Chain A
Amino acid sequence: MAGGVIRAQLYDGRTSGSREAHLSVAGTGELAHLWVRAAGGDFSVPLPAVGIGERVGETNRLLQLPGGASVEVLDNAQFDAALAGAEVSTREAPLRRLESRWVYALAAVLATLVGTVGAIRYGIPALAARAVTYIPADVDAYVGTDSLRMLDRSVFQPSKLPPQRQAQLRGVFAEVAADAGAAGARYRLELRDGGSLGPNAFALPAGIVVLTDQLAQLAHNDDELRGVFAHEVGHLVNRHAMRMLVQDSGSALLLVGVFGDASAVSSTLAAAPTLLVNAAYSRDFEREADAFAFRWMRRHDVAPEHLGDLLERLGAAHGTEAGSGGFLASHPDLRERVNALRSGGAAPAR
């Protein structure tokens, strides 16, 4: 035999005793036999009856013999050569080839990078857009009303605007919602004293748009508020809240899968990219809603600059300056949004 001796350890499966053994393979294919020569007796086993354990890297193979005994192969290369000589192939052979060359490792780095980025950038958003069509409207309604109830209990007070003004605002909102097709009929405006939230407006699933008194007062005219409503209706029409829900969960699962397998320390590491990814998703939705508002305003002869003006005043009220939109920001940079609205093209929804 060309490979010389194949050293191994024999374990009988009944005790933890180990015996030195030498292996050889005789015959080929289905007729191949594994010979085990050890102190206390030599024996042979038909090779097809042996459970040939996977070899990973340069580690020892474990062979499971019928009857409970097992063999730990110490000379792996020689054993593999003997297997090849007997025309027996192992299942992990193709994988071992991939794992043993740096070229493949480099290709794997690229595939991982492209796969992760592609899934986060395109795969998960596309999947989420499809998935929400299967979520019944009742779930939206539950989520929306539940969130509003929680905010009412914690930060909001009933609106202090005069009843006429409230009615007027509802009229303006209905005007915008009317343009959103059949679903628009179910959209409704909720007015609240924003409390610590200050001037703000947001859309909740199930067609609820919340406008705080503070933002209503910050607006110089109703055209500015039309812009705000159009932006929020843009969120509703595209079911952003529910898509966000699915996308967040999907990306969290993916990132835990990719980065979270080392130890508890690195699963906390996986939380950081999750935050970044969620913020990026949120910015994409804001751009999409801005684009929707822009188109609506153009169609109804409302100058898009109005929304830009209000955004700027809103930014000043919250103490955010232009240029502060970082990777963790939930909204795109303020200057980018304002410029986009003024220069006649809403910020591109990347």
Chain B
Amino acid sequence: MGIDGTVDYSGYTRAQLDDALTRIDGTAYPLNYGHLVAERDRRHAEEQSAAAARAEAQGAAGIVRHRPEFKAEPREYFRIWIVNLALTIVTLGIYSAWAKVRKLRYFYSCTTLAGSAFGYHGDPARILRGRIIAAALAAAYFGAGRISPRGTLVMLAVIGLLWPWLLVKSRMFTMRVTSWRGLRFDFVPDYLGAYRVLLGWGFVGILTFGLLMPRFVCERYRFVLTRTRFGASAFDCEARASIFYRTMFGTMGIGVVLGFAFLLVMLAAGAASHAAGASPAVVRVMSTGVGVVFYAVFFSVIHGYTHARNLNEVFETTTLGPHRFVSWLSAGDLIGIYLSNLFLIVVTLGLYTPWAQIRLARYRLQSIELEAHGSLEEFTAAAAASVPAAAGEEIASFFDLDFGF
């Protein structure tokens, strides 16, 4: 290479520069090394300003839409899923905490926004502790129900009273172990608010025979989003209760139509089997089958419809600093995914589960866009918040308690 300091790097391409940087012996050729680094930094600065100019040109007001990418590969995830499941069973459930972290890490790091992946930082040992507490509570719940019907009522009352507290703890845990570009999310605990919204509005909803239930749903979404932070920046949500009312009426209409259809099918099947002289045993099996299929369809349709409608409204009215979100979940797509997933999971005896999870996650992620008003580089970190015990999150997920996401 000759005498140190004689190489002119200005003619190098970017790749050649990178390559040279990894090959160069900095101690033997300190001058060349210095020139090389200087040239690389100059190019980098050029590229940055060019990229900024492009972004400026693209959106007149600096508006750029970012759609999350979901890079999960079902065959790869199948192997991860089944190996971790087998290890969980072989270790009598102890490994389940590690399996959970591994699966969540996969989903999080497969999700990228503006070129950066999300990170999951849950600690398996703490999750295991949480799971043991949740399992003890679940065993008490099952046991109490078996010992006496009153036992179930007592346990339901206990869990109902703990519900808001559990959800706050669960949300704190989930948010604080999630990161993007090195900054953590956060959920600011507001126990009083949680009791007011969940038990307060929940009771109002029940007392008015469901008439004010949409208001409860709306308040619940707003509660959770307005207390969520990314770094030091707060989310805000101005979802309108009127949209939730419309969704409720739609849901009721769908429920009536489906119920009527079910009745007709049962009547027709009853008449047909009577005419064909089918034995009572056959009729019983048939009607059980129709009932199960109807249940699956009913559940998927109602869930898909309300979820698509509600989440669209929630995300469209959510802001993070100057940034907004766009959401176009379609009830039809969601229902289709639910039903086909359900069907394929049943016929493959569960082996389709990884594909089902990825399909659903991909659809949901790619139906949302972040509409960036200005740079995404300017979020700042908040003071580090400690991650709470995992028990709240584990109990909540065992009893299927969530904020409706």
- What is A's interface to B at a CB cutoff of 8 Å? 1, 4-5, 9, 11-18, 20, 22, 24, 37, 39-40, 42, 53-54, 56-60, 62, 68-70, 72, 95, 98-102, 104-105, 107-109, 111-112, 115-116, 119, 139, 142-143, 146-147, 150, 245, 248-249, 252-253, 256-259, 261-269, 272, 319, 321, 323-324, 326, 328
Contacts and interface: CB of A to CB of B under 8 A. Distances in A.
A253 B135 contact: yes
A59 B117 contact: yes
B350 A259 contact: yes
A116 B349 CA distance: 13
Interface stretch (B141-149, B214-222, B262-270): B141-149
Contact of B379 (A15, A53, A261): A15
B235 interface: no
Contact of B142 (A68, A249, A259): A249
Given A57-B110, A70-B119, A262-B360, 6 more contacts: A62-B117, A105-B83, A111-B89, A112-B85, A115-B90, A272-B292
A111 B44 contact: no
B19 A4 contact: yes
B7 interface: no
B346 interface: yes
B93 interface: yes
21 contacts: A5-B19, A9-B115, A14-B380, A15-B381, A16-B182, A16-B378, A22-B21, A39-B41, A58-B76, A62-B109, A70-B179, A104-B79, A105-B78, A139-B147, A146-B147, A248-B146, A249-B142, A253-B135, A257-B93, A265-B342, A326-B285
Contacts of B93: 257
A57 B77 contact: yes
Chain B interface size range: 35 or more
B381 A13 contact: yes
A115 to B, nearest CB: 4
Given A5-B18, A70-B182, A143 B148 contact: yes
A6 to B, nearest CB: 9
A70 B115 CA distance: 15
B6 interface: no
B116 A18 contact: yes
> Which A-B residue pairs are the 7 nearest by beta carbons?
A11-B182, A249-B142, A108-B86, A115-B89, A59-B109, A16-B379, A39-B44
B374 to A, nearest CB: 12
DSSP class of B's interface residues: helix, strand, loop or mixed?
A: helix
Contacts of A115: 86, 89-90
Interface in B360-405: 360, 376-381, 398, 400
B106 A56 contact: yes
Given A54-B102, A257-B96, A266 B345 contact: yes
B282 to A, nearest CB: 9
A257 B280 contact: no
Nearest to A252: B142
Contacts of A267: 400
Interface string B70-105: 010100111110111111111001001000001001
Given A249-B142, A266-B353, A57 B117 contact: no
B231 interface: yes
Contacts of B142: 248-249, 252-253
B208 interface: no
B37 interface: yes
Nearest to B182: A11
B259 to A, nearest CB: 18
Nearest to A118: B89
Contacts of B80: 56-57, 99
Contact of A15 (B19, B73, B351, B378): B378
A323 B381 contact: no
Contact of A69 (B40, B79, B115, B182): B182
A319 B283 CA distance: 13
A53 B106 CA distance: 12
Contacts of A253: 135, 138-139, 142
A127 to B, nearest CB: 10
A15 B321 CA distance: 14
Contact of A59 (B71, B85, B87, B376): B71
B183 interface: yes
A142 B146 CA distance: 11
B127 to A, nearest CB: 13
